[in-house]
Structure 1
Amino acid sequence: MKPVSELEGKVCLVTGASRGIGKAIAHLLDAGGASVIAVARPSEALDALAEEMSERTTLIGADATSDAFLEQIDGLHRLDVLINNLGTNVPRLMEDVDDGLLDLMINLNIRSTYRISRSAVRRMSQDGRVINITSQMGHVGSARRTVYCMTKHAIEGLTKAMAIELAPRGIRVNSVAPTFVETEMTKPMLADPEFADFVKRMIPLGRLADAEDVARAVAFLCGPGAKMITGQSLIVDGGWTAQ
């Protein structure tokens, strides 16, 4: 991937960084010269990431929903960019969603994003940036995704409210909302031929996004080309939501 030189020297915290979209974002920011703080639960994937990144990278093996992780953010000397990439989805008919699953998705997709953002903006000075990874499902609805759509719509609303509140401090807040990307989370869904065919029919460009498509959108919002963009959602969906 082409380096993004305007990121050089920036301290960028990326959650969910060991796999999929988060890993692609961490790699691109690192290639652009940023000092990346890559956060994920301890795993072989996180260990492998350590071998792939530059010496500027700091890896934190932690539960990003925990109070202990928030204390680590509070202890940072400097933070320029936060990429909120935590989230999960368990597709299920609304009538089959039990309270345990409901609470799990609300806690991970909404509550943790809010808590991490609250801690992070305390460490940011002028020209900070927050980018929330949401979904096209934060703009439309879909069967078997009532909880997921609800949580992603919530983060789109949070993005707008944060942008207004933090603008006087020069902190820009945006979201990147991708369509289906083949990741560890979506692979089982896309293994269903009928569902995979539906997804491709719904994308006018006729293909899934890849993790690098999302990472490049993040890099754009981090850079000077987006200096007057805040409170917006950059939808990387191949045209799904345009229909």
Structure 2
Amino acid sequence: MQVAIVTGASSGIGFGCATKLAEQGMAVLGTGRDAERLGDLERAVGDPERIATIAVDLTTDDGPRQIVDAAIARWGRIDFLINNAGVGKPKPLHETDDESLDYFLGLMLRAPFRLAREAVVHMQPGSAIINITSTFAVVGGLRGGAYSAAKGGLTSLTRHIACQYGPQGIRCNAVAPGVTLTPMVASRLEDSRFRKINTEMTPYPRLGEVNDIASTVAFLCSEGASFINGQEIVVDGGWTSTKYLSDFALNSEWVES
């Protein structure tokens, strides 16, 4: 039985990835900071032989090792690592203080780096690491600030791992979601400016859903993706790769703000 570690698995994209991989027959170790919410994941999978969780702060010095040790102690192997844990609501460069900078980089770049470093020594040929980045790692993004910096660094880390460990049969790819309907995004969609930027500039007629990302991750863990390495797959309905504007945006009257 293959074993996957999924960080940030208590909600949103991480929860979707964990349940999707479990549905495909894998054993999953889900991590997060809230033990009660991780209990929801255990109940959703419903098979104690294939699900375990660990409540841990990834940014602590011993957090990554605790996670890897838990997977090895439970199942004796690690086949897939899904670095998903993240946080939103960044600020632009000039509004970002050092505390916020350190937090974003610590959670979304330093922690995945350290967790991959701990996990890769246990991985055998056919294993893979998948890093969840962002469209803001592709285009920079207004108000991206430390978030864009962290996710961009994670993209570069992805390519390094792919190059360094590919000869051992260990792949590494990134999945870059666009705006995806999760609890973290729900409040931001109440901001009309944020909503317009995403809905009126996406050529596909809906926003992203958790299953869109989870299905892409599941594919990258499958035999069908065994020759995909060092890639960043953008899942955003065409937001980053087109100059699309909706009819509403094109035909609206523009006024100075």
Partner of 2:16: 24
One-letter code aligned to 1:86: A
- C-alpha distance in 1 between matches for 2:55 and 2:119: 18
Secondary structure of the corresponding residue to residue 12 of structure 1: strand
- TM-superposed deviation, 1:163: 0.1
Structure 1 residue aligned with 2:5: 13
Question: Structure 1 stretches (4+) deviating beyond 4 angstroms?
Answer: none
The more displaced of 42-51 and 97-106 is: 42-51
Q: Which whole-Å CA distance do the structure 2 matches of 1:148 and 1:138 have between them? A: 8
Q: Sequence identity, in percent?
A: 39
Gaps of 5+ in 1: 1-8
Residue in 2 that maps onto 1:130: 129
- Distance in 2 (CA, whole Å) between partners of 1:104 and 1:177 is 20
Tell me which residue corresponds to 1:94.
93
Aligned to 1:59: 53
Deviation digits for residues 101-147 of structure 1 (CA, Å, limit 9, x no counterpart): 11110111110010001001011111111000011111102111122
For 2:195 and 2:241, the matched residues in 1 are separated by 20
Per the normalisation by structure 1, the TM-score is 0.93
Give the residue type in structure 1 aligned to 2:43: E
In 1, the alpha carbon distance for the partners of 2:115 and 2:29 equals: 14
Q: How does 1:27-42 map to 2 (within 5 A)?
A: 27-42=19-34
Deviation at 1:180, TM superposition (A): 0.4
Q: Which amino acid aligns with 1:69?
A: G
Contact 1:74 1:123 in 2 (8 A): no
| CA drift at 1:47 | 1.6
Q: CA–CA distance in 2 between the matches of 1:108 and 1:198?
A: 26
Q: Name the residue aligned to 1:186.
A: 185
What's the offset of the Cα at 1:150?
1.3
TM-score of the pair, normalised by structure 2? 0.88
* Unaligned runs of at least 5 residues, structure 2: 243-257
Q: How many Å separate the matches in 1 of 2:169 and 2:33? A: 32
1:216 aligns with 2:191: no
Q: Within 2, Cα distance between the matches of 1:104 and 1:65? A: 8
Moved more, 42-51 or 119-128: 42-51
Contact preservation (8 Å) 1:74, 1:119: no
Residues 103, 67 of structure 1: alpha-carbon distance in 2 compared, 3 angstrom cutoff: closer
Q: How many residues align?
A: 235
Shift of residue 74 of structure 1? 4.0
